[in-house]
Chains A and B, each alone.
Chain A
Amino acid sequence: MAGTPGTRHWIAQAKSFFERYARELFRNKTVLFWSIAFPVGFYLLTITVFVPVEEIPANERPYIFAATAISYGTFGAIIVCLSSFGQQLAADLEADRYKQFRALPIAPTADMAGRMLAGLLLATVSFLAVVVVSLGTGASYTLRSIASVPIAMLAFVGFAVVWMVLAMVVASAITDERYAALLTVAVALLAYMLTGYNGTDPGSYTGPDVLLNYLPNTLPSRVLVYQFVDAPASSLAPPALPSTIWSVGTLTLYTALALGVGIVVVRTRIYGTGVLA
Chain B
Amino acid sequence: MSGEHVPAVRAAGIEKSFGTEGVLDGIDLSVAGNEILVLLGPNGVGKTVLLECLAGSSRPTKGDVEIFGRDVSEDGGRNLSFLLQDTMAIETLTGRENIDFYRRMHPGFTDRWEQYLDRLDLSEDLDKAVDDYSAGMTRKLELALTMSVDAPLYLLDEPTAGVDLSMIQRFHDIILDRYDGGSTFVITSHRPLDAELADRLAFMRDGTITAVGAPSELMDAVPPVIRVSGSGAMRTAESFVRGGRLFRTGATARGFLKPDVEFEELEAAVDTDVEGVRIERDDATHTDLFNFYVHVVEPQRTSGGTPNDDSIEAVVEP
Report whether A103 and B56 are in contact in the complex, using a CB–CB cutoff of 8 Å.
yes
Chain B residues, CB < 8 A from A13: 104-105
Could you say which of B57, B58, B76, B101 contacts A19, with CB atoms under 8 Å apart? B101
Distance of A12 Cα from B107 Cα, bound (Å): 10
Confirm or deny: B77 has a beta carbon within 8 angstroms of a beta carbon on chain A. yes
Q: Please indicate the chain B residues that have their CB under 8 angstroms from the CB of A20 in the complex.
A: 90, 93, 97, 101
> Are the CB atoms of A100 and B84 closer together than 8 Å?
yes
Cβ-defined contact, A96 with B105, below 8 A: no
Q: Return A205 CB to nearest CB of chain B, in Å.
A: 39
Is A60 located at the chain interface by the 8 A CB criterion?
Answer: no
Task: Tell me which residues from 91 to 150 in chain B have a Cβ below 8 Å from any Cβ of chain A.
Answer: 92-93, 97, 100-101, 104-107
Interchain Cβ contacts under 8 Å between A and B, 16 examples: A13-B105, A16-B101, A19-B97, A19-B100, A24-B92, A95-B87, A97-B90, A99-B57, A100-B88, A102-B56, A102-B77, A103-B57, A103-B155, A105-B78, A105-B106, A272-B59
Determine if A178 is an interface residue (Cβ-Cβ < 8 Å): no
Kindly state whether residue A29 has any CB partner on chain B within 8 Å. no
| B92 partner, pick from A16, A19, A23, A100, beta carbons under 8 A | A23
Known contacts A12-B104, A95-B87, A99-B52; is-contact A104 B93 (Cβ 8 Å):
no
Instruction: Among B56, B77, B100, point to the contact of A16 (Cβ < 8 A).
Output: B100
What 5 A-B pairs are tightest by C-beta distance, nearest first?
A103-B82, A102-B57, A103-B55, A16-B104, A12-B104
Q: Which residue of B lies closest to A5 (CB)?
A: B107
Are B92 and A27 in contact, with the CB atoms below 8 A?
A: yes
The answer to whether the Cβ of A15 comes within 8 Å of any Cβ in the partner chain is yes
For A103, list chain B residues within 8 Å (CB).
52, 55-57, 77, 80, 82, 84, 155
A105 to B67, CA, bound (A): 14
Kindly identify, within residues 68 to 104 of chain A, every residue whose CB is under 8 Å from any CB belonging to chain B: 95-104
**Chain A residue at smallest Cβ distance from B98:** A20
Chain A binding site: helix, strand, loop or mixed by DSSP? helix
Chain B residues within 8 Å of chain A by Cβ, number: 26
CA A63 to CA B88, docked complex, whole Å: 50
Q: Assess whether A210 is interfacial by the CB under 8 Å rule.
A: no
Residues in B163-221 with C-beta less than 8 Å from chain A: none
Known A16-B100, A19-B100, A27-B92: A9·B107 in contact at CB below 8 Å: yes
Complex Cα distance, B120 from A206, in Å, reads 65
A interface residue numbers (CB < 8 A to B)? 5, 9, 12-13, 15-16, 19-20, 23-24, 27-28, 95-106, 272-273
Taking CB atoms, residues of chain B closer than 8 Å to A106 are 77, 105
A residues less than 8 Å from B82 (CB atoms) = 100, 103-104
Closest B residue to A91 using CB positions: B92
Residues in A with CB closer than 8 Å to B84 are 96, 99-100, 103
Interface residues of B (CB under 8 A from A): 52, 55-59, 73, 76-78, 80, 82, 84, 87-88, 90, 92-93, 97, 100-101, 104-107, 155
Q: How far is the CB of A129 from chain B (nearest CB, A)?
A: 23
Shortest CB-to-CB span from B139 to chain A, Å, is 14
Which A residue sits closest to B78, measured CB to CB?
A105
> Closest CB-CB distance, B73 to chain A, in whole Å?
8
B107 and A105 contacting across the interface, CB-CB below 8 Å = yes
Bound-complex Cα distance A97 to B85 (A)? 10
Set of chain A residues within 8 Å of B87, measured between Cβ atoms: 95-97, 99-100
Closest Cβ neighbor of A20 among chain B residues: B101
Q: Are A15 and B104 closer than 8 Å at their CB atoms?
A: yes
Instruction: Decide yes or no: A104 and B105 within 8 Å by CB, A20-B90, A99-B84 being known contacts.
Output: yes
In the complex, are the beta carbons of B106 and A104 less than 8 A apart? yes
Which residues of chain A are within 8 angstroms of B73 by Cβ–Cβ distance?
Answer: 273
Cβ of B90 to closest chain A Cβ, rounded Å: 7
A60 to B316, CA, bound (A): 89
A102–B75 alpha-carbon span in the complex (Å)? 11
Give the residue name and chain of the A residue nearest to B82 (CB).
A103
Q: How far is the CB of A9 from chain B (nearest CB, A)?
A: 6
Chain B residue, CB-CB nearest to A24: B92
For A23, the chain B residues whose CB sits under 8 A away are 92-93, 97
Which A residues lie within 8 Å of B97 (CB)? 19-20, 23
CB-CB nearest in chain B for A9: B107
Give the residues in chain A near B56, CB-CB below 8 Å. Answer: 102-103
CA distance A146 to B106 in the complex (A): 44
Could you say which residues of chain B place their CB within 8 Å of the CB of A97?
Answer: 87, 90
Question: When chains A and B are docked, how far (Å) is the Cα of A104 from the Cα of B79?
Answer: 9
CB distance from B284 to the nearest CB of A (A): 36
Cβ-closest chain A residue relative to B75 = A105
Residues in B neighbouring A99, C-beta threshold 8 A: 52, 57-58, 84, 87
Rounded to whole angstroms, the CA-CA distance of A105 and B109 in the bound complex is 12
Whose C-beta in chain A lies nearest to the C-beta of B103?
A16
| B55 CB to nearest A CB, Å | 4
B107 and A100 contacting across the interface, CB-CB below 8 Å = no
Q: How far is the CA of A103 from the CA of B82 in the complex (A)?
A: 7
Cα distance, A23 to B80, chains bound together (Å):
28
In the bound complex, what is the Cα–Cα distance between A24 and B129 (angstroms)? 11
Complex-state Cα separation, A220 to B88, whole angstroms = 39
A13 to B57, CA, bound (A): 18
Report chain B residues within 8 Å CB of A98: 57
Quick one: closest B residue to A16, CB to CB?
B104
A19 vs B90: C-alpha distance in the bound complex, in angstroms? Answer: 13
| Chain B residue with Cβ nearest A271 | B57
